[in-house]
Structure 1
Amino acid sequence: MLLVRSFLLGVVSGGRSMTGLAAVALTSRSGPLVGPWTRALTTAGALGELAGDKLPNAPSRLTPPALTVRAATGAAAAAALAARSHGNPVWHALPAAAGALAGSVAGARWRAFADRRGWPPLAAALLEDAVVLGLAAAVAHRR
């Protein structure tokens, strides 16, 4: 089950790169992401990205640098999730990186689909935010 949660945490990071890290930091009592500064920085990064994603000049999430960052943040979030659950961080980072790539492509396709259907870009982005935040809450909470 932890491998599935790791993959889904990667999908979250593919949607909003910092959200997976923030979700794990905010729900952990121990592990590498615990501490007031870590929580503050990951949360600020996630909130900044939620706002910045709505800007018309936001870069594509499918460029190689953006995909690399999303895969890395997804892997880091899953490694932290595994560490707090006494799992092997490396084994959980790999599916999370794959999930981040899948989430990036799915998010870009969703936005293109919504655009073709005449959805306002802000509405499509906010719906994507809701899905990403809901999924983050579902997979990062302590079990």
Structure 2
Amino acid sequence: MASLTPAVLLRAAALGAASGARSTAGLTAAAWTSRPTDRGALASRLGGRAGKAVTALLSGGESVADKLPATPSRLSAPGLAPRIALGGASAAAVAGRDGFSPGLPALVAAAASVGAAALGVRLRAVAAQRLGSDLPGAVTEDGVAALLGRWGARERRGRSRGPVSAPGAGRWPPARAAGPGPPHA
């Protein structure tokens, strides 16, 4: 395992903050930046079609449910527990995928999710008071959660992804085979 760096812990904090805003945001970002061939059991499962589909559905459902008046506070135990667990899981998945020990990133993300949940409640209350509606704050929070999740889960530069990242893989147009090219006029 590679040594943890401040950048790894900052990315973990971003995933935790994303999960504090929307409990599924960090896990969804981890899923959509992972592949089935990635290191780590969680990242490889999330990176498959089923993992991506399930996390996308959960995120969409949460985004809708969050805007309903009957939704309980995210600071209550039923609202906070999934944010802590999913924030930690998303950071552990990304750290493991990138070749780092997942323990400390998971703890950093769990702590960040609590802070972001509390901050989000406060900022949305201010937005609702100033704008007369909770909806603009909720939609803004959706966007911030998505951006934080994407930044936290982004692919680490220079990491090997196994057979998928063979030279020329994913390049468009595909590299031409060596040898004589087409005849030129």
TM-score range, shorter chain: over 0.9
Q: Which residue number corresponds to residue 8 of structure 2?
A: 2
Offset, 1:73: 0.3
Mean Cα displacement is larger for which, 13-22 or 57-66?
A: 57-66
Alpha-carbon distance in structure 1 between the residues aligned to 2:131 and 2:68:
18
Mean Cα displacement is larger for which, 71-80 or 133-142?
A: 133-142
Kept in 1: contact 2:125–2:134 (CA 8 A): no
Q: For residues 86-120 of structure 1, what are the alpha-carbon distances to aligned partners after superposition, in whole Å with 9 as ceiling and x for unaligned?
A: 11111110000001001100110111111221342
Offset, 1:62: 0.4
1:65 aligned residue (78, 97, 106):
78
Q: Which residue number corresponds to residue 111 of structure 2?
A: 98
Alpha-carbon distance in structure 2 between the residues aligned to 1:98 and 1:62:
13
Alpha-carbon distance in structure 2 between the residues aligned to 1:112 and 1:120:
9
Which structure: larger Rg?
A: 2
Offset, 1:34: 2.1
Offset, 1:65: 2.1
Quick one: percent identity of the two aligned structures? Answer: 43
In structure 1, runs of 5+ residues without a counterpart are none
1:25 aligned residue (15, 28, 31):
31
Q: Which residue number corresponds to residue 99 of structure 2?
A: 86
Q: Which residue number corresponds to residue 15 of structure 1?
A: 21
Cα distance change of structure 1 residues 119 and 133 upon mapping to structure 2, 3 Å threshold: farther
Q: Which residue number corresponds to residue 123 of structure 1?
A: 136
Alpha-carbon distance in structure 1 between the residues aligned to 2:64 and 2:131:
22
Residues 1:38 and 2:51 aligned together: yes
Letter in 1 for 2:102: P
Mean Cα displacement is larger for which, 9-18 or 65-74?
A: 65-74
Higher helix share: 1
Mean Cα displacement is larger for which, 58-67 or 11-20?
A: 58-67
In structure 2, runs of 5+ residues without a counterpart are 1-6, 157-185
SS in 2 for 1:28: coil
Alpha-carbon distance in structure 2 between the residues aligned to 1:134 and 1:113:
21
SS in 2 for 1:10: helix
Offset, 1:20: 0.5
Letter in 1 for 2:88: A
SS in 2 for 1:62: coil
